[in-house]
Structure 1
């Protein structure tokens, strides 16, 4: 059976700078896989290549065995590739219920028609309620997003990504900016994400990486530097030297 997501010798250059240097990665079905590396390692560029934000300069991207290298961002999303962002992309004036309702309706082809149809679509209402509860948003579901604690905003963004019914979900630094007091709720929610969604986590918070991931890939200077289980990466002296053991990149 093909991998959920695979890159083969993926390349990206910006002039003379090689940002992604023939990176090959396999994300298995149901994976909890983390991508780490020091600042400037090329993690964001890699994610932007996966999602179609940037065109590749070489190599291939396969989604469940299908070559999507030339597909647009929208086409990849429709094929089941979802993502979150380092800086959240939310509608500040909308409530979590409204935002999730819009996302679910968009997936079903209804768009803004959600508000007229809500009363007659129990399936939509049920899915909204399930996502609100799963992402611990019940207590803030009717508040404007701008008023939510930042940890709740992060949870809402992941809920919106999941509302798109992705097969593969790229989580781009979900813990970035979340206060320490709110991280426990975020970690618990991530641990409970459905196993039928294959997840690639891009993260600097090593507590989150080690508690969430089952496999870790390390990028350094745009190159696939190391890969293995959590225990193998923690014990890898080369990784300790360039990343884990450095205060600069903690």
Structure 2
């Protein structure tokens, strides 16, 4: 199995609290892998370690076989690691065309030149239009982001992340806060993401998890608790007690 993203005994401590307890994990090339666990399980800390937001206290992070443990967020992003956030990081006054265009231009080394040369860069325009269509944003392409339905904002954030041409994409609770009426569009778009991009999904929505993922890892108290196919995880009595039991008492 070719591995896109891997951790080996990854550890993070905050004083006497062990938030990530020697976690070893593998995301297969082209995989659709979900990370789940009860509140306080350490999922956000783990993602922040993967992306370089937090430094680790031990262990390694390997991206496509390269040790990136000591690299910055920006250096990891340039090597193909992209992410979205629980709360979107979009510019409220920008439109989808502007947001995606800027992301594509920055990846191509244009940066601010995007604003001056938009009409002359057919390569950028073609890619922006393709992403707008893929993420079902053509009908709102000229609307300020602040005015978009929340489901469209989530789609836009994923489109901007994909515009960076990541080889590995971390989706941090993409369905969080999305109204029921907009969820199917989000689910359909996630299902159609490029197969050559390896995806790690962090999500509480079990319908999305079991629909999207071909493999699931369960974190509990910062520890790798269980892993397997969706059917294996669903049938594991330990997972049902620790994770699904929390849902029953929520």
Please state which band the TM-score falls in when normalised by the shorter chain.
over 0.9
Aligned counterpart, 1:205 = 205
**Distance (Å, rounded) in 2 between the aligned partners of 1:156 and 1:203:** 18
3-state DSSP class of the match of 1:245?
helix
Provide structure 1 residue ranges, at least 5 long, that are not aligned to the other structure.
none
Aligned counterpart, 1:26 = 26
User: How much is the aligned-residue C-alpha RMSD, in angstroms?
Assistant: 1.0
**Distance (Å, rounded) in 2 between the aligned partners of 1:22 and 1:2:** 22
Provide structure 2 residue ranges, at least 5 long, that are not aligned to the other structure.
none
Count of aligned positions: 250
Matched, 1:67 2:70: no
- Say whether the 8 Å CA contact 2:38–2:246 is kept in structure 1: no
Aligned counterpart, 1:164 = 164
Give CA-to-partner distance per residue, 1:3-52, whole Å, 9 cap, x none. 10000000000011000000000001000000000000000000000000
**Distance (Å, rounded) in 2 between the aligned partners of 1:120 and 1:3:** 39
**Distance (Å, rounded) in 2 between the aligned partners of 1:72 and 1:84:** 17
Aligned counterpart, 1:132 = 132
- Say whether the 8 Å CA contact 2:8–2:25 is kept in structure 1: yes
Aligned counterpart, 2:238 = 238
Give CA-to-partner distance per residue, 1:119-177, whole Å, 9 cap, x none. 22111110000000000001111000000000000000000000000000000000011
**Distance (Å, rounded) in 2 between the aligned partners of 1:25 and 1:219:** 11
Give CA-to-partner distance per residue, 1:91-141, whole Å, 9 cap, x none. 000000010000000111111110222222111110000000000001111
> Aligned-pair distance for 1:53?
0.3
TM-score normalised per structure 1: 0.98
- Say whether the 8 Å CA contact 1:243–1:249 is kept in structure 2: no
